[in-house]
Amino acid sequence: MLEKEKRQQLLRDAGIKLEVGADDGLAMKSDLGIPWNKLRSIRRGLSSWGVQMASEKKQREVADKQKLGEILSEDMPFEFKKNGSGREIRMAPCARIQNLEEMVFNHLEVHKSSGNLVWHEGLIPSNEIWIKIGGDKGGGSFKMVFAIGNLQNPNSTRNTITFSMFEAGDTPYNLALGLQGYDSVIENLNGQKWGDWTMRVFLFGDYAFLCAIYGISGASGKHFCLWCLITQDEVSIPLSERGLKSSRTLQGIIDDNSKF
């Protein structure tokens, strides 16, 4: 084991800084994807080599300044499958951003000031900002996320922002409960002006998720398609014989649900 003085000299000779500031320490925590207790272990290890890292208090102060949204967390009555058959209601945790609209605009401002906004060579109209909102179930939890389409890699993990997460499945009941209040926010975002640009909101996800969000019965339903009103019996008939079917509309879905 090298003595502390020799370790420090070795680091100096290698051109390695002997101090890690609060900004660099926080960036390291974010890049490694580790919690604060793991960062403390790294700090102790670096200290044994004579490398001093900014205190956790200073790093948390930097993190608070960079925070782009307030988070609420509570247990809520979600729906679960019973072991035998049927369903039951159990309390499960749900974490959500308090002000989604504010968070979206905060991220847009950060990317605008950094020069990150792009329009993908005209794919996105020059007077529009595209926001994608979607959800996905993984393991025992469900996450609702948004992504800014006007970024170089909009689908990357780094550019996908979670704004609601709960420890339950993505049934229509659970989605309505876990996402309550966001429908009006998303509706308000769509078409809203931000500087010289108009916001456009798109919904994405797998077939099961989109069916649950739109209130469509799914693959077993008579009208199973998300885009048109073709029936199960008609789908096997050639297009030349059956012709084009009427497109689905949000108003049509609302009317059908009110009749159900």
Q: What is the pLDDT of residues 150-165, one digit of tens each?
A: 999 999 988 999 999 9
Q: Where are the alpha helices (DSSP H) in the chain?
A: 4-13, 22-32, 36-48, 56-66, 100-113, 172-178, 182-189, 207-214, 239-242, 250-259
Give the residue from 212, 123, 217 showing the smallest Cα distance to 203.
212
Closest CA relative to residue 127, chosen from 193, 172, 183: 193
Would you list the DSSP string of 118-179?
--GGGTS-TTEEEEEEEEEEETTEEEEEEEETTSSSTTSGGGEEEEEEESS---HHHHHHHT
Locate the domains of the chain by residue range. 4-66, 71-214, 217-259
Q: Is the pLDDT reported for residue 11 higher than 80?
A: no
pLDDT at 170 over 80: yes
Q: In degrees rounded to 5, what are phi and psi of residue 258?
A: -70, -25
- The answer to whether residues 225 and 202 touch, using CB atoms and an 8 Å cutoff, is no
- Express each pLDDT in 137-154 by its tens digit: 888 889 999 999 999 999
Mean pLDDT of 75-96: 90
Looking at residues 34-51, what average pLDDT do you find?
82
77: β partners = 91
Q: Name the helix (H) or strand (E) containing 204.
A: strand 197-204
Q: Which amino acid is at 253?
A: I
Mean of pLDDT over the chain:
86
What are the pLDDT digits (tens) for 29-38? 877 878 888 8
In this prediction, residues 11-29 reach a mean pLDDT of 75
pLDDT of residue 31: 78
